[in-house]
C-alpha cells in the first residue's frame, strides 16, 4: 500500500471498522489458541479432544467470573481441515444436554442435544467448508456442514448438585471424536500443517489485532455482507491473504490507525457494558448467537461473555437493581415473588445464581447455597402454586430457609439462567417479577 494514497481520516475510519469487525474472531482465536495450540496452557487439550469439567463451581472457583452452577462443561475445537470428524453422543435420558456449535465468527450455526436432536444420542458427521468428497449413505444421525475450519463445541451437561457428579461423568465419558477415516476404517487423508501465530493480550486496542485477523479470515466462509465489508478494508491491507504492516504507512497514517483501533476497542467495551434495556430491574439483552451484520454487538458480546447460547436454547436475564432502581445490597432484604402460574416458562429448568458485584464470583454463606431454582431440594411453594424467594444476608428464619438465597454484606447481582425457554419468555410476553426490597 502506498501510504500517500490514504488520508489519516480515511485510515482512522477503516482501522475502526476493521477492529470492530474482527475483534470477535480474534477473541475466539484466543480461546482455541489456549486450548489447542499453546501446549503450556493450563487448558490445553489439543484439537478434536474434549476437555471435561469435573468440578461443580462454587465460591472458591476464581478462574471464570459469573461461573455457571447448573451444568458442567466439556469443550473442544474441531479441526475440519485434514478431513471430516465424527462426534459420538451417548444417550442422555432425562438429563438436559447440549452441544453448542460455534463458528470462527462466533455465530451459533447448529445445535446437538435435548432440544434439537433428542435424548438418544447418535453419530454426527462434521464437514469442513472445503470438503468436496462423498458422504457415506446411512451411517450418521446427521451431517453438519460447518462454515469454518475450526469449530467450537461448547458442551453443557446438567448437574443437580455435587452428589450428581457421577451421572454427568457417564455422559462425558460417552462423548467421542474420531476422524472420518478412523470411523470407517479407511486410509487417513494427508494433513497440511498450519503455522499458528502466538496470541498476546497486546492485541487489545492495538493495530496488532489486524495481522491476526488476516491470518484467520481464510479459514472461515464469509457471508455476502461480510465479503462486502472486507473488500472495503482493502486500502489498509486487511482481508484474507493480505499482509498488514503498520510500518508501511506514513507517521500521520500510523497514528490515525492507532487512534481508530483504540476508539473501536472503547466502543466495544461501552457496548458490552450496556447490552440491553432494563425493565423493572432486569436487564433484557437482545438475542445473541446469530449476529448478522451488527459487528459492534457481536464483538461486544464476545468481549463480555463469549459463546453465549442462542435464545431458543437459553436466556440469561440479570438484575443489578431492585424494583425502585436501587442497587441490590446485603444491607437490605428482598423478596422475589412469583404469583400462581407465573413461574419462568421453560422446557428444561431455571435457576437464579447470586454473585458479588465487585468480584463477579459466588459468595460463601452458612448454608452453601449459591443458586436457587426449580431443581432446588426442599423448595416450598404456596398452596396456590406461588413461589417466594428470600434474598438477604441473614437467615429469614428456619421456616423460610428452604427458599433463602443468601447474599453478601455488600453489592450483588442476580443472574437467571432459563434453559429451553418457551416462546413467551423469549419474546418478552412473560416478564420476571421485580426484586422488591422489604427492609
CATH of the domain at 372: 2.60.120.600
Count the domains in the chain.
2
User: What was the pLDDT predicted at 2?
Assistant: 46
Residue 368 has pLDDT above 60, yes or no: yes
Residue 254 has pLDDT above 60, yes or no: yes
**DSSP code per residue over 40-86:** TSTT---TT--EE--S---TT--SSTT--SSEEEEEEEEE-SSS-EE
Q: Give Rg (Cα) of the chain.
A: 24
Residue 190 has pLDDT above 90, yes or no: no
Q: How far is CA 228 from the centre of its chain?
A: 27
Q: Which three cell numbers stand for residue 7?
A: 488520508
Assess if residue 280 is contained within a domain. no
Residue 284 has pLDDT above 90, yes or no: no
Compute the average pLDDT of residues 107-124.
Answer: 98
Segment among 62-71, 229-238, 297-306 with least mean pLDDT: 62-71
User: What was the pLDDT predicted at 136?
Assistant: 86
User: What was the pLDDT predicted at 408?
Assistant: 96
User: What was the pLDDT predicted at 161?
Assistant: 87
Mark which of 157, 184, 211 sits at the end of a domain: 184
Convert the pLDDT of each residue in 10-20 to its tens digit: 999 999 999 99
Convert the pLDDT of each residue in 396-425 to its tens digit: 999 999 999 999 999 999 999 999 999 999
User: What was the pLDDT predicted at 4?
Assistant: 56
Segment among 185-189, 244-248, 361-365, 368-372 with least mean pLDDT: 185-189
Assess if residue 256 is contained within a domain. no
* Residue, of 380 and 138, whose pLDDT is higher: 380
User: What was the pLDDT predicted at 192?
Assistant: 83
Residue 65 has pLDDT above 80, yes or no: no
Assess if residue 379 is contained within a domain. yes
CB 106 within 8 A of CB 28: yes
Assess if residue 63 is contained within a domain. yes
Mode of pairing for the β-strands spanning 142-145 and 122-127: parallel
Residue 63 has pLDDT above 70, yes or no: no
User: What was the pLDDT predicted at 170?
Assistant: 97
Assess if residue 431 is contained within a domain. yes
Compute the average pLDDT of residues 132-157.
Answer: 94
Assess if residue 199 is contained within a domain. no
Alpha-helix residue ranges (DSSP H) falling in 372-428: 423-426
User: Helices 8-36 and 209-216: crossing angle, nearest 10°?
Assistant: 70
Assess if residue 5 is contained within a domain. no
Instruction: Report the CATH number that the domain containing residue 135 is assigned in CATH.
Output: 2.60.40.1610
Alpha-helix residue ranges (DSSP H) falling in 295-412: 295-305
Residue 3 has pLDDT above 80, yes or no: no
Assess if residue 405 is contained within a domain. yes
Q: Which residue has the cell 463469549?
A: 306
Mark which of 152, 184, 216 sits at the end of a domain: 184
Mark which of 163, 184, 205 sits at the end of a domain: 184
Q: How far is CA 39 from CA 31, 50, 64, in A?
A: 13, 15, 20
Mode of pairing for the β-strands spanning 387-392 and 404-406: parallel
User: What was the pLDDT predicted at 64?
Assistant: 66
- Sheet with 51-52: strands ordered across: 51-52, 71-79, 150-158, 97-102, 108-113
Q: Domain range spanning residue 68? A: 38-184
Percent of the chain's residues with pLDDT above 90: 87
Amino acid at each position: 500500500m502506498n501510504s500517500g494514497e490514504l488520508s489519516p481520516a480515511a485510515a482512522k475510519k477503516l482501522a475502526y471498522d476493521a477492529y470492530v469487525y474482527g475483534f470477535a474472531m480474534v477473541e475466539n482465536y484466543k480461546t482455541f489458541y489456549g486450548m489447542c495450540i499453546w501446549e503450556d496452557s493450563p487448558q490445553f487439550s489439543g484439537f478434536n479432544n474434549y476437555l471435561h469439567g469435573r468440578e461443580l463451581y462454587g465460591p472458591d472457583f476464581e478462574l471464570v467470573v459469573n461461573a455457571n452452577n447448573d451444568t458442567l462443561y466439556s469443550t473442544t475445537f474441531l479441526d475440519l481441515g485434514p478431513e471430516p470428524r465424527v462426534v459420538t453422543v451417548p444417550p442422555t435420558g432425562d438429563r438436559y444436554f447440549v452441544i453448542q456449535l460455534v463458528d470462527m465468527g462466533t455465530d451459533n450455526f447448529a445445535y446437538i442435544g435435548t432440544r434439537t436432536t433428542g435424548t438418544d444420542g447418535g453419530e454426527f458427521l462434521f464437514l469442513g467448508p472445503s470438503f468436496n468428497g462423498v458422504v457415506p449413505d446411512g451411517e450418521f444421525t446427521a451431517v453438519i456442514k460447518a462454515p469454518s475450519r475450526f469449530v467450537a463445541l461448547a458442551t453443557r451437561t446438567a448437574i443437580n448438585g455435587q452428589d450428581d457428579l457421577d451421572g454427568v461423568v457417564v455422559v462425558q465419558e460417552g462423548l467421542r471424536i474420531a476422524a472420518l477415516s478412523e470411523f470407517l476404517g479407511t486410509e487417513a487423508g494427508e494433513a497440511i500443517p498450519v503455522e499458528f501465530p502466538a496470541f498476546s493480550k497486546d492485541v487489545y486496542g492495538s493495530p496488532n489485532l489486524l495481522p491476526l485477523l488476516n491470518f484467520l479470515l481464510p479459514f472461515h466462509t464469509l457471508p455476502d455482507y461480510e465479503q462486502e465489508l472486507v473488500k472495503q478494508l482493502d486500502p489498509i491491507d486487511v482481508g484474507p491473504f493480505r499482509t498488514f504492516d503498520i510500518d508501511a504507512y506514513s507517521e500521520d497514517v500510523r497514528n490515525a490507525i492507532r487512534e481508530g483501533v483504540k476508539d473501536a476497542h472503547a466502543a466495544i467495551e461501552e457496548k458490552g457494558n450496556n447490552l440491553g434495556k432494563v425493565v423493572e430491574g432486569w436487564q433484557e439483552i437482545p438475542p445473541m448467537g446469530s449476529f448478522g451484520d451488527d459487528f459492534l454487538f457481536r464483538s461486544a458480546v464476545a468481549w463480555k461473555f463469549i459463546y453465549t447460547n442462542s435464545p431458543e436454547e437459553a436466556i440469561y436475564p440479570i438484575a443489578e437493581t431492585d424494583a425502585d432502581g436501587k442497587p441490590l445490597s446485603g444491607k437490605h432484604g428482598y423478596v422475589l415473588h412469583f404469583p400462581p402460574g407465573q413461574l419462568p416458562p421453560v422446557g428444561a429448568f431455571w435457576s437464579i445464581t447470586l454473585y458479588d458485584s465487585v468480584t463477579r464470583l459466588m459468595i460463601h454463606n452458612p448454608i452453601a447455597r449459591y443458586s436457587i431454582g426449580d431443581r432446588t431440594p426442599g423448595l416450598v411453594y404456596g398452596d396456590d402454586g406461588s413461589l417466594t424467594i428470600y434474598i438477604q444476608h441473614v437467615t429469614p428464619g428456619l421456616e423460610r430457609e428452604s427458599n433463602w438465597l443468601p447474599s453478601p454484606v455488600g453489592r450483588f447481582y442476580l443472574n437467571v439462567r432459563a434453559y429451553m425457554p418457551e416462546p413467551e419468555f423469549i419474546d418478552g410476553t412473560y416478564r420476571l417479577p421485580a426484586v422488591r426490597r422489604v427492609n
